[in-house]
Amino acid sequence: MEKVYLDFNASTPLAPEVIEVMKPLLTDYFGNPSALHWAGIPVQNLLHNARRQVADLIGARENEIIFTSGGSEANNLALKGVYFQNLGKRNHIITTKIEHPAIINPCRFLERLGARVTYVGVDSDGRVLLEEVEKAITTDTILISIMHANNETGTLQPIKEIGEIASKHGILFHTDASQSIGKVNVNVEDLKVDMLTIAGHKLYAPKGIGALYIKDGVKLEPLIHGAGHEYGLRAGTENTLLAVALGKACELAKNPNVMIKELTDYLWQRLKNEFAENVQLNGHPTERLPNTLNVSFVGVVGAELLRAIPYLAASTGSACHSGSIELSPVLKEMGVTEKVGMGAVRFSLGRETTKEEINRVVESLKMVLKKDKSSSLTLTVENIKG
């Protein structure tokens, strides 16, 4: 059975070039990068190079990149670092209702400590309204944190415009760019951000590595205290193996696959041609990631649909518990009805995706989804093997 992977927003395979740069660090480069001798200095140089590669991708400087264990830690450092830096002074944070749990849950934690958090909504396309962000600002606001691209729908947020609002009011601005790095051009100066999160496993690097861009001059309280690693912001001997892998992945990301958008558009066109009004787009029609297509097969349970095509790896936007359907908070906030939202499926394409794979998936969907007399789509018991 030849499998098809269309879940690149969840995680990416390691790029071959990334694997190659990791190999020498498994055998030859074992020294501590802080050690000033023959075993440590070469490792320190590799770490510097990796930091420079990450910085180059986003238009930052090397000293503005802090390596972390992934996107979640980077988000936590941004949120908690700002909050504890302002402890006893101001305590208000603005974010959105459609953020990843790596933002929502740290905010909930900080609320237990006394933070005030405003969660702004989005429109039916999943876009934040600028006036809602500005209206939420108070004299106590210390941070605005809004994702660059939504992981479910791929909808891109007006980050530059939000950054300008934050700058006008003298408020720090953070964006979680875990999903957008390597898929669209990201430049921290253009986006007007003070902090930006990167997650390695969304970028053809390993899991367990990420980075936080922190604009020079921004002060944060560290999460991990100890020695002065990572410019004093993350104690602990650096994981040079994974940092080098992330650096190489960022270097490769400077040359994205321009064909991905064409394949995504081709998939959407084929789905519309085959299923007409029984398939609906979730998310912005144009302002979204070039690899992401979140669609609802109306009247069908997305999880059951994917279960009927076992060779296909994709994600669903609803969960089925004891016979009831629970929509994702993102779709719910966008105003997607249960009838539509329960059939949501996210297809996220990657560098290796082919047109042949797209065609194969659409043909399988046609076999599983059959129109009945009322023109509604009904899930058959047919189990497609591919």
CA angle 283, 287, 293 (to 5 degrees): 45
Dihedral pair phi/psi, residue 43, rounded to 5°: -70, -40
Q: Are 230 and 65 in contact (CB under 8 A)?
A: no
Candidates 19, 235, 320, 384; catalytic one: 320
Q: Are 283 and 154 in contact (CB under 8 A)?
A: yes
Per-residue tokens: 303 = 């999880």
Pairing of strands 92-96, 172-176: unpaired
Tell if the pTM clears 0.85, that is, is over it: yes
Q: Is 320 a catalytic residue?
A: yes
* Residue 324 pLDDT level (bands cut at 50, 70, 90): low
pLDDT of residue 257: 79
% residues pLDDT > 90 (the chain): 90
Predicted confidence (pLDDT) per residue in 51-78, tens digit: 999 999 999 999 999 999 999 999 999 9
pLDDT at 160 over 90: yes
pLDDT at 323 over 90: no
